[in-house]
Chains A and B, each alone.
Chain A
Amino acid sequence: MDQPKVIMSLMFFTMSLAFYFLATAFYIGYWLTRKDWMGQAGTSLTYVAGFSMTMILIFRAVESGHAPFSNLYESMVLFIWAVTIGYLWMERKYKFKVLGAFVMTVASLAMVSAWLLPFRFKNIEPLNPALQSKWNFLVKILEPLGLEKYAIGWLDFHVFATFIGYAAFAISFAVAIMYIIKIRYEARSKKSFLFDSFPPSKVLDELSYITIAWGFPFLTVGIVTGAIWANYAWGTYWSWDPKETWSLITWLVYAAYLHARVTRGWRGKKAAYISIAGFLAVIFLYWGVSFILPGLHAYA
C-alpha cells in the first residue's frame, strides 16, 4: 500500500505551530508590557494562524477524500481552528486583547498535544463501516459532479457541532480563570500592573456566559446528532457507552453553570468554578475517554 499523501497538511501544521507560539508570545508580551504594537502583532499572527489551520483542513479533505474530522489529530485541528475563529470574532466585537494571552495559550497547548500524537494518529486511515454515513440526498446531488465522496452525513455534522461546542468552552475556561484572578484583586482593591489591564470582573463574567451560551447549544446539537447517527449505526439512540455518558456529564455541568448564574449566592465565583470544572470534563471526554475507558467511540 502506498503512503497516503499527507505532506501538504503536515507542512501547514508545522507552520501553524510556529504561528501559534508567536501569537501567544506577542499576546503575553502585550499583557506584560502593555505595548500596543505587540497586541497588534498578536492579532495579525492569530489571523495568519487561523488561515493556516483552514489550509490544513482543506488539504486533509483533499488528501483523505472525506470530511477532515475522522481521527483524533484531525479533530484537534478542527478544535483549535474553532477556538481561533471564535477568539478572533470575540476580539473584533469586544476589543479586549489581553484575553488573547490566555485563550491563545490554551490553543498553543492544544497544538502541542496534537503535534505530540504518534504518526499513526496523523496518517489517513480508511473509514471503518460505522463511520461511513452520508446523507443520500447529498450523494445524489454530488454524484453527477464526481464529488460524491465529499458528501457528508450525520457523523460529520455531529463531530463539527461538538467541536464548535468544545472550542467555545475552551474560551470560556480561559476567561473564567481570568475572572477568578481578577475578582481577588478587585476584592482587595489593590493596584496591580498585571491585572488592572484585565477587563472588570463583571465583564469577564459576561464574556464567560456568552461563550457558554454558544457552546451549550452546539454541544447539544452534537449530542443529538450523535444520537441520530447511533440510531442508524447501532440501533439505539442512547446506549450509555462511556463517551456518551461523559458528554452527558459535561452537558449537565454546563446546565448547572447556566442555573448558577441566575441563582443568588452562586453567580460570579462559584459559576466560574463550574465553568472550569466543565472544561476539565471536556478534556476528559475528549482525551481521557479515548485512551482510558473502553467503548464504541474511536475518538470524537
Chain B
Amino acid sequence: MKILVPVKRVVDFNVKIRVKPDGSGVDLQNVKMSMNPFDEIAVEEALRLKEAGKAEEVVVVSIGPAKAEETLRTALAMGADRAILVETDDAVEPLAIAKILKGIVEAESPGLVILGKQAIDDDSNQTGQMLAALLGWGQGTFASKVELADGQVAVTREIDGGLQTVSVRLPAVITTDLRLNEPRYASLPNIMKAKKKPLEKTTPADFGVAIAARLRILKTEEPVRRIAGVKVGSVAELVDKLKTEAGVL
C-alpha cells in the first residue's frame, strides 16, 4: 500500500506573527517557516506504518510556493520516499487544496491519505474532511491511534467528550491529533540523502483545478489586546480581590 501525506509550509509555531498596520494581512517577511506540526505527525505515522511492513511507499505532497520544496525535503529527510510539489504563489483555500489532492490521489492510488487536522496558520481544520468527501471515502479525523487491519483502519479519535474509535473502510482519509506520535528528527546523513530523493513539480492547472478564492478577505486586524493586571502578594489577597474587586467568587 502507498500512503500519501500532504504537508503545508507554515509560519513556525514559535513565531509571534505581526499584523500589517494597513490591515492587508500578516507580515511574512523574514519569518521562520516550518512544516505544519500536525503534518510532521502525519509523516511520522506514515513512516511507522511503512516500518511495520504495512505500507510500501510514503509520498509527500505540498501545494505552495517554490520554497515549499524545503518542507518536502524535510519530509524526505524524515524518511518519505518521494515528493510532489504543486507550485503556486497564490493563497489556496482548503476546498481547492482538497481538489488538487483528489487529482493526486487519482493519479497515485494510495490506500491511505494522512493529513494534519489543522494548519496552524489559517486554523481551518477542513482539508482532510473535504478530501474524504470529494473522494467518497470514509474519514478518521483527530486521530490519536491508528491501527491498520484487513481492508480497514481503526482510528481512535480525540473528541470533545473523550475518545472514540471508528473503523473506516480502506482507502481512507486520516487527520492527525497531537497525541498520535512524537515525530522524529531528521539525522544529518538523512538530510543529505534527502537532497537526492525524487521531487516532481506540477501546477494546480495540471489537475484542472481553479484555485480562485471563494472567500474575500476584507481585512486582517490585531485582536483586542489584554493588558497585564496586578500581582498579588498572597493567596488571601487573591481571594479578597476576586471577591470584592472582580466579583467572580
A binds B: no
Q: Which residues of B contact A (CB under 8 A)?
A: none
Q: Which residues of A contact B (CB under 8 A)?
A: none
